Chains A and B, each alone.
Chain A
């Protein structure tokens, strides 16, 4: 089974579609809602962790795209600018899921996208503004 973190962007046209319901029902996906921000009738963002067979995930995402939902993968939206990073570690203690850590040998920052729930704590904590969440 594969696990993917995705960000769905809804427009006023598709915000009322029961997308998660259909992903579960039609494509047999496990869904974990990590974050949801909606403004009624204006649209919104949904951060999801999807689990399922590779083809089921692909088909489910295609379905979402077909009805006009923007689909991005989390690693494209949470950007860590390694060039800017000074490995100070200000971010490591405020990350609730252990995405960020300092390597025990090199003391350089490690960024484990798999664990990210896009809480945005690190964005605020980074003194060099080296982490961005683009949605």
Chain B
């Protein structure tokens, strides 16, 4: 008998405390023991998780109006500029924006972390002044309690799969993939592999616009495909299927988040970024979905890219799978190279567990996407037109 389930049936089981939920890691031995069909019969939901640097992140903040009121035209939070080209007291604070005084030591992501921890943030705003908003300057302090909204809105998070970064040059380089030592001295990679949300539903069968997710410790939503959304399914010469290019735009209430699951980070010589914790539940609607969540680190392949090459299309030095990467060293050109994950597997595991517990407690229900992601997107480069 082939199992078919609906979201409603799963949610009914969750509400009555009868749903069976495991993480994307725990499902692997279950499938190996029982097979896809039996596992599909027994399990309702599989939870995934990731906790890695995601630069395309930021927060929409509404400060409330002062008296006399000001139409803020330039705004700084702890000396980090936020984009104020919106209505009078709305800004968008980008995670990678750097402090004007501290440079790379502090940036938008740190302001976000400080806001979440409840710290006081210094606000400075200037304006030309108008008849309806006469004030031209304000300096004050805000906290997450004093402001109307703080909404995390990240246009591109949760990359499905990412390159392994290496450096063949003779010089140490500082990148968003961390420090890369000369002469293939090390390699860095950044996904949670078999726990990663978009590698467990690689063709976006259950993940789409409206999906409820775990975001930074709170409940959030997928609101759109992420920017640069360009899912590809590549069959390589050894018969491996490589999924890459899927991304998510996500939203959630910053005020409910916890710095256990969202953190500011600085990549030395590169800049500031936000480490975002995302967990997505995959409803086991049928055995096809179960086949997808059966994915293991050794089945997930990615490209080794030379980041010392200063152009957009960087040369590939071959492919490796996440099992090899996670073991701590890979071999390129007969050389053993130590690897660094960048994305925390321990935290990814914790997030998948936490999401599982929230669903088990009936606090987190599954939301069917209200719209699927588009197909056939093209990846466009910026042309220089003179």
Contact = CB atoms under 8 A, between A and B. Distances in A.
Given A86-B51, A106-B346, A92 B340 contact: yes
Interface stretch (B136-144, B262-270, B353-361): B262-270
B328 A92 contact: yes
Nearest to A121: B179
A90 B263 CA distance: 15
A42 interface: no
A107 B326 CA distance: 9
Interface stretch (A13-21, A57-65, A71-79, A125-133): A125-133
Interface in B313-358: 328, 337-347, 349
A112 interface: no
Interface string A65-90: 00000000000000000000011111
B338 A92 contact: yes
Given A91-B340, A127-B178, A127-B275, A86 B347 contact: yes
20 contacts: A86-B347, A87-B344, A88-B52, A89-B342, A89-B344, A90-B178, A90-B179, A90-B340, A91-B340, A94-B340, A102-B328, A102-B341, A102-B345, A107-B344, A107-B345, A121-B179, A125-B268, A125-B340, A127-B275, A127-B342
B188 interface: yes
Interface of A: 86-94, 101-102, 106-108, 121, 124-125, 127-129
Contacts of B340: 88-94, 125
A53 B54 CA distance: 51
Nearest to B348: A107
Given A88-B343, A102-B328, A127-B53, A94 B181 contact: yes
B80 interface: no
Q: Which of B52, B265, B266 has the most CB of A within 10 A?
A: B265
Contacts of B273: 127
A105 to B, nearest CB: 10
Nearest to A95: B338
B187 interface: yes
B178 to A, nearest CB: 5
B268 A89 contact: no
Given A86-B263, A88-B342, A93-B188, 8 more contacts: A90-B188, A93-B337, A93-B340, A102-B345, A125-B179, A125-B340, A127-B273, A127-B275
A84 to B, nearest CB: 9
B186 interface: yes
B171 to A, nearest CB: 14
Contacts of B339: 92-93
Interface in B161-210: 178-179, 181, 185-188
B308 to A, nearest CB: 16
B186 A93 contact: yes
Contacts, number: 79
Q: Which of B181, B186, B340 has the most CB of A within 10 A?
A: B340
Interface of B: 51-53, 178-179, 181, 185-188, 263, 265-268, 273, 275, 328, 337-347, 349
B178 A125 contact: yes
A101 B52 CA distance: 18
A116 to B, nearest CB: 16
A106 B353 CA distance: 13
Contact of A94 (B179, B265, B275): B179
Contacts of A121: 179
A91 B339 CA distance: 10
A93 B338 contact: yes
Nearest to B51: A86
Q: Which 5 residue pairs of A and B lie closest in terms of their CB atoms, listed nearest first?
A: A127-B265, A93-B186, A93-B340, A93-B338, A87-B346
A65 B295 CA distance: 60
B219 to A, nearest CB: 22
A83 B275 CA distance: 16
Given A127-B267, A128-B265, A88 B181 contact: no
Nearest to A106: B346
Contacts of A102: 328, 341, 345-346
A107 B263 contact: no
Contacts of B52: 88
Contacts of A129: 266
Q: Which of B51, B186, B337 has the most CB of A within 10 A?
A: B186
Nearest to A128: B265
Contacts of B178: 90, 94, 125, 127
A108 B53 contact: no
A29 to B, nearest CB: 33
Contact of A108 (B266, B328, B343, B346): B346
